[in-house]
Amino acid sequence: MSELRTEELTINMGPQHPSTHGVLRLVLTLNGEIVTDVKPVLGYLHRCFEKHCEAMTYPQVVPYTDRMDYLNSMNNELAYVLAAEKLLGIQVPERVEYIRVIMCELQRIASHLVAIGTYGNDAGAFTPFLYCFMDREKVLELFEMVCGARLLYNYIWVGGLSHDITPEFVTKTKEFIKYFRPRIKQINNLLSYNKIFIERTAGIGVLPQDVAVNAGVSGPTLRGSGVKFDLRKDDKYSIYDRFDFDVCVGWGERGVVGDCWNRYIVRAYEMEQSLRIIEQAIDNIPEGDVQSAVPKRVKPVVGESYVRTESPKGELAYYIISDGSLNPYRIKARSPSFCNLSVINQISRGHMIADVVMILGSFDIVLGCIDR
């Protein structure tokens, strides 16, 4: 009997697809349900961020950084502002540093909540998605209380903050910490340790340590592979060295180290660590004026600066070149999602279509950050 003639099928997943987390397009080559090749096609959300910044003054760039990784605006701002301050040689008041750390950690929780929720949604469980968004809403309310905005804040300024926090914010944040601790457990019970969810994610898309390191993967995606690398500990920017927290790595409780489940669970446990940092910071905020160090006119000397920070997605860095004028000569953003996405082809070959969705979701990419 002669064999049936078969041929490979090429399908476009995206740019309009519910689980590509934005306008990413994946060109999948399929042999039946098995994926033989994945080619990400980027650029659908390209907004010329880097070129645009060259026409802006330094403080004007901050709102643009908000729009890079829009689930993670505070951390974007912090990275850019730290780079700009390094260029200017500004030392910000202690109060500003503490508030920045609190805001960034709250934002990290919000970002991880979206990652976990949408990941559940990718797996077909819709309910955890809404539970996560409910909690995220509480974080956004805190932000709204401080700066009036819920998504794109323009809160962290070069040399300071746009608004000081109120005593009410402090009490509300403490309430949130108390409320959110048990919720992490609840989410773990509902989704993380669900049998079907583990079946879907454990052992899927294993990212070996060496591949991860060579490809420049960072953040929870790297830590899921068991590499203990967190810039908050390893680079100690801002005042992170004053706080006591653990770096979570995937340890293979389910599946194998480096698979989707371990990448996922790192996020679930990192939220707990963020709460710890906020707890330590919220009681020790010194008094001071948050705008005392804000320069009237931001005009750095000729030079360049590079600051890398740990955003919820991974290593977010800004490289600024100044030619001594009011506008930056060049700004380059090193986006974590972009580097993390680069390994998708290597680790999804041989898996099924449904697994590609899970692998992509486990990177927690944001297209605003990839395309810029």
Partner 1 sequence: MGNILTQWLGDNLLTYILIPVPVLVWVLVFALYAVLGERKVSAWMQNRIGPNRTDKFGLLQTILDVVKLIQKELIIPNRADRLYFRIAPYIVFTATFMGYAILPFSSVYIGVDLNLGLFYFFAITSLSVIGVLMAGWASNNKYSLFGGMRTVAQIVSYEIPTALSALVVVMLAGTLSMQKFAEIQSGGILNWYIFGGPGSVIKIVLIPIMVVSAVILFISTLAETNRTPFDLTEADSELVAGVHIEYSGMMFAMFFLAEYAQMFAVSGVVTTLFLGGWQSPFGDLVPFLNTPVFQVFWFLAKSLFLVFVMMWLRWTLPRVRIDQLMTMCWKFLIPITLVNLFLVGLYIILT
**Whole-angstrom distance, CA of residue 47 vs CA of residue 368:** 9
Q: Pick from 22, 40, 117, 120 the residue near partner 1 by CB under 8 A.
A: 120
Residue whose CB is less far from partner 1, 5 or 297: 5
A 10 A CB-CB count for 62 gives 22
CA 271 centroid distance within chain: 12
User: Considering beta carbons, is residue 197 or 240 the nearer one to partner 1?
Assistant: 197
Of residues 186, 254, 180, the one with CA closest to residue 224: 254
User: Is residue 27 part of the contact set for partner 1 (CB under 8 A)?
Assistant: no
Task: Show the site string, 28-67: x = touches partner 1 by CB under 8 A, - = not.
Answer: -----x----------------------------------
Contact between 130 and partner 1 by CB under 8 A: the answer reads: yes
With tokens 């008041």, the residue in question is 93
Task: Give least dist CB 233 to partner 1, A.
Answer: 33
State residue 316 phi and psi, 5-degree precision.
-110, 125
**Which distant-in-sequence residues (6+ apart) come within 8 Å of 211 by Cβ?**
343, 346, 347
Helix (H) or strand (E) holding 319: strand 314-322
- Rounded to the nearest whole angstrom, what is the least distance from the CB of residue 175 to partner 1 in the complex? 18
Q: How far is the CB of 343 from partner 1 (least distance, A)?
A: 21
171 vs 186, which CB is nearer to partner 1? 186
Residue 121 engages partner 1 in binding (rule: CB under 8 A): yes
- State the nearest-atom distance from the C-beta of 117 to partner 1, in Å: 11
**Closest distance between partner 1 and the C-beta of residue 122, in Å?**
5
Distance between CA atoms of residues 208 and 271, nearest Å: 24
Q: How far is CA 167 from CA 80, 145, 156, 174, 285, in A?
A: 28, 11, 19, 11, 11
End-to-end CA distance of the chain: 55
Q: In this chain, which of 11, 41, 48, 302 binds partner 1, going by CB under 8 A?
A: 11
Ranges within 312-371 binding partner 1 (CB under 8 A): 352-355, 357
User: Can residue 140 be called a binding residue for partner 1 (CB under 8 A)?
Assistant: no
| 200 near partner 1, judged by CB under 8 A | yes
Tokens of 245: 């927290």
CA-to-CA separations, 257 to 198, 220, 221, 266, 270, in angstroms, rounded: 13, 12, 11, 11, 17
Give contact residues for partner 1 (rule: CB under 8 A).
Answer: 9, 11, 17-19, 33, 120-127, 130-131, 134, 191, 194, 196-197, 199-200, 352-355, 357
